[in-house]
Structures are given as structure tokens and as C-alpha cells.
Structure 1
């Protein structure tokens, strides 16, 4: 843990004790040893030690929030029951209002990780937690698989949906996996779906099984509960791995995951009812003229979109029909070679890792450079006319194209540097204040 400004509250940001940079609970290269972590605490560079759960260790972490009175130490009835049930290492959480119970075992496959009603979280991998060492009983970490199974059945069983469980709707001819993927990329959930299709488990704390289920839940909606199409698209995703075909009680892991998604799916996209007649396709507007690209008829660019939104204002977000095509304007890509080699290479590498156009990274970088220069220099636009090096830029692209991560990569270094210097300035001010208070006499100088 480290102390987070400006309120001084403890944050649970994992830090690599070797580099003192931000670590990840799913990247072993950023983890350190207990000894190295403890030394960082002892020398004042950190204020706490944490532990990363992984598939390679036998530990399960049970977190109970809001179950302890920090003044009296009294526990809630539920907390007392769980402490007694597990009889394993139990410590007070950093806030003083919760408990950590650590046992040996493994979570059953088909369990959720949180029970918000009772303030319980339970993990056995891809998770980082802070250790206080403030135990409430002298018991070592103990094997408690049987108790964990009963605890999971009582508190972590997935709730059955009150709606859903419908049958697969017929998929019209011409609607294949690629068309469904293309439509998902234009949906309001595009960023989440694209991330899952790419194999990312970050949004699920590195839990690959949770990511599998999340992707299948999306696919159940877009594939109209068709198991064959769900399976086909999943197999083409970055989440696909041998486990998908592992057999369990007569069914594969993939079949079980798809079945659960179909059962939980309360509504579908409805490809059959959305099939348009050939003459009902939306018109494509030609850029710069405001007219129909085919007939030349005059059209107002904003009107079709606004009419569409007004007609469907009360519709559920996922159930909105396709919006009419917007005006299509073709722009030239930003020339990376106008940047210095280091920035051009950075923009290209970031764009490749995100899967976006390099222009989305390069253009906001110009604004960052202008902000860094500020009023320290002026640019002579033409003889007698100068401007500060301030440049306003914007990125226009379809939903899911990667605008947000590209912008974050472009401005992130600037914000981190700004925060660093702000903290250094704050420390300098505090030292000056303390020195001023220690002056002899009334402190006036």
C-alpha cells in the first residue's frame, strides 16, 4: 500500500518493490518477494505489504466488509460464524472495519466472487490484498476445502435469472459470424466486447473464466441465443484455449458456459425481425454537399439522426435499431514522420497494442507538447503575427475504435509528470512551513 494524496487515505495500489512502479495482480514480472517488500516498508517508501493470489498457490482469500466495530472489536454474527466455521488465519482489514480469512483450498468452478448483500468477497487467483498481520486468533492457515464448498454453496451460488431461458431464434440466411461481429463493433457495448474478443481479462481481475462467461453473455444476445454461432465466434476470439473443450460430467466447459449464457439471456437482438428490404437500406450522404449520394436530393445532415433518436428515445439501449448512416468524410491519416523519431515510434507501438489508428495517439500528443511548451515560446505564424504553442485537437471515430485508450496513452505521461511535480512542490511547501514554524521568536522574518 501507499499513502495517497491529498487526503492521506491508504490506497491499495500494488507496487513492485524492486522498481517502485505500479504492479499488476496478473503479471508475475511485477511481483517481488516478502523480504524486498518489507524492506520498502521499513525504509519508508511504502506503508504496507500485500500478497498476490495466483493459480500456482493453494490459498483462498475471504474478505468480509463492515463486520467489525473498530472501537470495541466486536464482530457481527455472520463474521463470528465464518471465523468459527473456517478456524484459519484471520486478521483485521486495513480499515479496521472488516476481516480477512485465509485458508487452503480452491473455489468451486461455478461460483461468483462477490455477495454484496452480505459484504463478502472470495478469491483464489488474479487478486491482490493487503496484509495487516493484526490477527484475532492464533491459528495458522489451514486446509478447509469442505467448509469452503459449503460456504460457496450458501453465499456464492450464482442466482438464477427471473427472466430469460428462451429458445434460440432462427437466424436468417446471410447473417453469419462476421456480420454479427461487425454489428457488435458498432454497438454501445463495443469497447467491452472488442476487449473480450481480443482476449483481455483485465475487466474481470484476470479471471479468465469470468471473461469467458462475459463474452458468451454478450454473444447470447447478439446471436439470438444460437449456441452454434456463439461457439463459432468464441473460438475465433483471443479467449479461446484448450480448456474450452475439456469434458466435465458429459459436457465440455464451452457447452456449460454457453448454456449458462443462453439461460441468463432475457432478450435478443432479433435478426429475423430486423432484416430490411433491399429498398429500405439507409441512404449514404455525400460529404460536403448535404445531398443523397445516389439521387442528389438535398438532405439536412442532422435531421435523420435526431428524428431517429426521438422515435426511439424510450427503447432499451441494447435494443435500439441500427442508426441511419452518418455522413462519411474521408480524411488523410496523420503523418507520423513529422514527429521526432521517439514520439513517432511511441505512437506506432501504442496504436499497435491497442489496435487503433496511429493518428488517434499522435494527434492528441500535439496538444500535450503544446501544453508542455505553454507560454514559454511563441510561434510566428506570419510576419508580425505570433501565437502561443497551444493547440486544440479532437478525435472523431466510431464507438469501439479505441479513442479513450489512445487518448490515455497520449496524455498519461504528461499527467503523471504533472502529479509528480505537484507532489514535489507540496513537499517543498511543507518543509518551508515547518522551517518557518521552527524559527526563533514569533516566527516572523
Structure 2
């Protein structure tokens, strides 16, 4: 049971013991996906850079950290405390000891919690807990055994303040029960391995401590991948096991130059193999690693090109002078090209640049090769914190060129993307995550600001708890199906479409759509303003290819013409062709999407035609009655917990990829059995939605949520949106448009022969009780402006006796006589008002 006390984001601030708050050992943390596809809690400084639990310069005061978290709680998962030799605290981590369904604590763990008799709180996942005590540990005590871990330094704990009922809220001294717990975890014994490098030396440093430091360093993911034996991961790739061995040893060598300790760490890794038993290989590899770390020609594990050095105060190049060689200062902060990035979308090369700013923060940026070798790029690096004088810009560009030339085959390989969605190799990108049939990779996202909403945050359990009741409403469930159907557009060669939810302000349109978008990430960041420009939406749709987009309150877009153009543009999936200043042409943007649009009025009004109608699904459902408090509560929770379902859904797509077409065909048979071609075109879209719903319901079932029938839910909306609202024929829609135009422009028509009272310069024609006579050029211009093809409708109007012509005329025109009895020289298009009204009333 929680005690609600000063809740900020996910942290009950006032419950955290004051003793801990007094130490300046606080960090922020984020949920991030590692190369194995698992979520990990990565520590960060208040400046937004990755932090190390072993580096006090990365820590902050409790006040500074909680203030940063308060301002950016949507960005971070929470706060944490770093244990060190300077504090008296010991942290006990009991992982996976709470049943997710019943909330019961494992009996053995429950005894430990009670026995320790000190401050205890739930972990962020609520499947474990942390106990904090005061005291000293036996130096030989092991740190972990199974689900139990004990730390007093070189580690940080996430802190939630989510205390457990009936347990102490203060930190107490270690007791005999702690000694018993340490016995269970175990003690280290000196290594008796005969094949260590220096047989006569004892291990001078704690191996577990070195491993912990490596696992919590800025380049922790690199260490974890190598330690687990991954020579060729998504971020770090090594051509051979020997090169992976060297990379692992270089990381360890940053924390110890004791060769025996380095060897012991390697022995615990999955890179250890028979070759390590050869003494010469051990000595050579470890010796080179230690020398490399101590060298001024290596920084952050990256070997510099010839004649360049990095010292504590920056980058140097060796030059020749009158008195011999000397070190010439280029930058006053260290900088290297740390990775080469291959552009998945366009085949370009990008380079990752890592440098340290004047405050000691490590920063990374990604630049194309052409940009990197340009002085303007150096200026951008200066704006981000690089310390360099203007007269050294060319020297830095030369350094970059030399680095590319000498290190291109040795530095880390990464993938770079500009857009989300499906790629040529049948992989799929969401934000900085790349999915394939082989699993999950991490990529460098070239548009991080535009895709910042596509993140996984918080816990899946908390999201489930927040939405489980509200998504029983079919309108929200249907929106969820539509959102996920965007993932299937490309593999099933389906057309983009628009879901238009219109109605009064209080119908819950925005709220329901936000719940649906919490499947993908932060709905607040994924929501676009209704008055966004067509150019912006074009760029946004291209970046979010194969994903849904959310345009809220289209009612603020006053120009119906713009809305019409947006509808066609988004649903057609192609942007506007544009020329360059040099006479060339820009690349035309393409995309697939499902565009969610909310507003008070439907975007397909009276002037929408068949082509537009089959691209738009209209819904008008209201949410069940809910209090503002309930809506605010759910809205708050989905801003803290989101993005988990899209991750699971895309994995489900890959699991069933080979059977997608077969399943789609079955749904098509159900929804496309009408005699109406336009109804069948919409039926294809509903078949896609039903299939997405089927996969989504399987995900819901996998996580213990109640499963619904996607066919029944989709069928109910197909009935309301299509069957009960048949598509109005094109020629009738056109007639409705012209009738509305006449009504709103009546003063621009001459009534009968009333020339004397007509005062406008513009004249569209004449109007009488029986007919409307249009000047031909004016009617054609009106049709063009409204997007009506007059050549397409005139014959149908004539056949329905709407358009009256004089005998033997083949130009569809009639004679009109002016007030003086003369004939209007070009004839007119005469609309029979009685026939028109009868036809319109039938629809």
C-alpha cells in the first residue's frame, strides 16, 4: 500500500529519509532499451548527460536533482542515490520477490525485510524492493547471489519513496540479521587459478568492484555487450574475437592497471575461451590495453591519427618548427570521432563526434561527412560547448579528415536513420529502436526532436492499471486498432487513411485519442496542432512514416480548402514537388500513415467527394460519462507510463509476418462483399484495422488484459461509418456543393430581369423560381475552385434532367434571353431547380 506523500512524477519525495537527502550523491535515471532488447535504468546528471555512480562529479544535491526532475519528469524515470565510501549506508536490493498479480511478497524476502528492520521501499517496477541500513560491510562479502544484492559503494539505487506499509520509515543500524543475509549471499575466497598472469601476486583490487564500475560507466553498454560475448552488436561491432578481447581489456584498464585483475574479469566474461590460456596472448593483449589507456594518442578507447595527441587540456597536433617538433594546441577540450554511422535511409555516411565540454560533461553529435569537414560544423560544435578559437577551425577540420582516413576501419559501426517505419531490409524503426526478425537494435535517430515522443517510459503494469477499464469502450479500442494498423500499411500494400472524430468539445475526442497514442509513446509530444501548416505536416508525416499521426482540433483551421488539401496529401502519401535555387529538384517525400483528426465538424463536409470519402473514416462516438477527476488521473498516468505496447506489437508483427497476407485476405472477404466499389475500397481499410486489432488483442492477452473480438469491434464501426452511411455519388455531392454555393452567394445572381437593383461587379448568372442559369465560364471556375470535375458530372446531370439543354445542342447549354429580349451570346448552363431539390432530398 502506498502512502501518498509529496508525489512528484513517480517519486514520493517526503517519504525519502532526510539522512539520505543530506548527502550530495543524487542522480536522475531513464528507462532505455539495451542491445538485448531489455529495459535498463541508465543514470543521468542534472545536465542531461550520462552519469556514473562512481564519479562524484556527476552527482548533485537532492534539491538540484529533484528540481530538475520536477521540471522534466516526462523525460526521466525517476531519481537515484549513489552509494560511496563517504556515506554510512548499505543498500539491499531484493529483486523479483513480489507477485505482479497478487502483490504478495515472497515469504523468504518478507522475512528479510522484517528482520532488517529499516527503511524499505518498492522498486519502480513494484516487483522488488530496496532496504537501506547503516553500518559497515565485511570487505570480502559478495555483492550478489540470485535475486539478492548488497552494495555499499560503486552502485546507485533508484529511489521512489513508495514505502511499504508497517515497515520502518527511518534508516536503522545493521543488526545480526544483516550478517545472516551476508552469509546467504556469500563471501569471496582468494583465487587459486594456476594460469593467472602473475602467479606470485594476490589480487590487489576487488574484481566485483571493477565489474560494477564498468557496468555503470558512460560506455556501460559497450562493456555489457562485450562481457556477454557479443562481438557484433548493434552499436559496437568487431571483425574478430581478438579485437573484441582488446576492446574489453581497454575498458577494464581504465579502472585498474593490475594485469591479474584484468584477466580475472575477462575470465568471468563470455569472451573467455581457450586462446586466453596461452600466456603470450594474455600478456600481449592485456599489455597493449594498459599501454593504450595510458597513452596520449588514445582517448575514450579511440586511437588518434598520426601526429595528434589528446591531453587533459585538449587536442594537440605535432608540428615542426625552427627548433624541432612541438605540440600545437587545437582545442581546449578533448574531442574524437567515436563512431561511423551508416545511413539506412539514404546510404550516406555520418560520423559520431564525442567531446568534453568546459564543465566536464561528455557530449555527442552526429554529422554527415560533408558537414563534418565544413567550418560551419565547427561553429555548431562551439555552440554545443567545444572550446576552440576561430583561427583553429581549419586545423580541427584537418584533424577530422585525418581521423576518417586512419580510423574508418577501426572505430565503432552504428546505424543512422532519418525516418521511422519500414526499411528496405524489412526492418522497422520506432524512434531510436530498430526491430527485425533477429531482434532489437539501437539506431541513431537523425530527427531526435521530432521523434522525442516515441519512447518507452514508466512501467507496463502502471499503464495497464490506468487504462484497463477505459479501453473497454469500443471507440477507444477501435482507435487503438487504427493506430496500430499503420504498421501494416507497407507490408500489405494498403492505402493510408484518415480517422476523423468530430463532435462537441465535451465528447472526449482528444482524451480518447491520447489513450490510443500512449501505445506508441508520450501522447502529449505526439499531438500536433490543428492549424499546423501543410509543409510542416508533410515533413512530419515523412519522418513518422508507417506510424500514426495525431492532429488535434482541426476546427482552428478556418480555411476549408486547406483541410481538403491536407486530407488528400496525407492519404495519398506523397508530398509536394519543389525546385531548388540552383534549378534542380528536391526529393519528393513519401509516407504511409493513419492520420487521426479531431474537431467540432467533420473534415469531409458537404463538398467532399468520393475520392476523399474513401480516404476518411468518420466517427462521432462519445465516451461514457466520466468525471474530470477520472480523466485527469488517467491522462496523468499515461504521461508517466507509455510506449510499451508498440514495442510488443511490432515484435508480434515479425512473429506472424509470413501469415499476414493470409489473415488479411480472410478479413477482406468479410468486409468487401458489397456491390459498391467505393464501399469495398473502405472495406479493405476495415479489413486492415481488424487484422491490426487481432494482433493487438493477442498482445493484450499476453500481458494479462481482457481480450476482445477485433472483428466484432471493427464490424460495429464498419456498420456505423459505411453500411448505415452509404457513399453519396459524385454527381450528387457536386450538386450539393453547387446548391450551397448558390445559397451563400445569392446576391451575385440576377433575379429574373431585376437589373436595376443589381449592384455587384461580379455576376454568376440568373436565378428564377424554375431554374438557375449559370454563365458557363463562371460555373466552370466555381467547379475548379471546389475540386469538382465538370466534365465528369455534366452528362450525369443531363441524364437526371438536372441540366436542361435546348433541342439538338451537344454542348449541354441552353438559351437565355436578356431583359431587352436579346439572346445571351454564349448560352448558359441551366439547372432545373425542381429536379435538383427532389434529387438532393432523396439523399
Higher relative contact order (CA 8 A, sep 6+): 1
Larger relative strand fraction: 2
Larger Rg: 1 or 2?
2
